Amino acid sequence: AQSVTQPDIHITVSEGASLELRCNYSYGATPYLFWYVQSPGQGLQLLLKYFSGDTLVQGIKGFEAEFKRSQSSFNLRKPSVHWSDAAEYFCAVGARGFQKLVFGTGTRLLVSP
Amino acid sequence: DGGITQSPKYLFRKEGQNVTLSCEQNLNHDAMYWYRQDPGQGLRLIYYSQIVNDFQKGDIAEGYSVSREKKESFPLTVTSAQKNPTAFYLCASSSTSGSTDTQYFGPGTRLTVL
């Protein structure tokens, strides 16, 4: 069965420090991978996606993620966190074409001054 | 501007009442989805539709119903059979072909059962 694991429920990072959010997936076919961000009480905004090609993908707001097939991982990174990055982050996996996305349970990022 | 709208933003319902959540998109997407979000559980798929007049149950369809009479609209009805309806509901849409296989989300509706 398809699944996504985000092992960190909460992460606290100092403003200006680097960030890495972990995502591991289990998916039988070639996966399409996504990271979304959600501010409190809001919908989900797409940060970046991986379909194929270069395994390091760039997204909005200075985020990037690296697809590692051997580790079944798609970790999200940012070199310098800003206070406005405080939100909940969701990793998701799906397939090409019409797709039912499977979401992880999310990681809440707290940014300390 | 293209996007997905959900209304209302907040909804209160008494036990035993049905309530309908609205979702409209002007992205010309074929597929639409309804998700339920509860704290600590991520998003769970309720129903989805690939095309007008067709829809399928997701992982937690019990107590919910949908219709897809127009491409732009995919309303969700939370019936009195849903045992724990208080949650945040998110609608999404996507193209079903090409390289734009990405789901885009609306702002959500928070339903509270009193």
- Which of A2, A60, A103 is the best residue to mutate to test the B interface, defined by the most B CB atoms within 10 Å of its own CB? A103
Buried b / exposed e along B5-22 (16+ C-beta atoms within 10 A): ebeeeebebeeeeebebe
pLDDT digits (tens, 9 = 90+) for A2-34: 899 999 999 999 999 999 999 999 987 778 899
Query: Is B96 in Cβ contact with A103 (below 8 Å)?
Result: no
Please provide the DSSP assignment of B75-106 as one string. -EEE-TT-S---EEEEEEEE-SSTT----EE-
**The pLDDT value given to residue A78:** 98
Q: Which DSSP category does A17 fall into?
A: S
**The pLDDT value given to residue A99:** 67
**The pLDDT value given to residue A51:** 86
Which residues have CB under 8 Å from B97's CB, separation 6+?
A97, B30
Query: Is A98 in Cβ contact with B42 (below 8 Å)?
Result: no
- The C-alpha atoms of residue A74 and residue B17 are separated, in whole angstroms, by 43
Q: Is the pLDDT of residue B3 over 90?
A: yes
Query: Is B43 in Cβ contact with A103 (below 8 Å)?
Result: yes
Q: Is the pLDDT of residue A97 over 80?
A: no
| First CA to last CA distance, chain B | 36
- The C-alpha atoms of residue A84 and residue B107 are separated, in whole angstroms, by 18
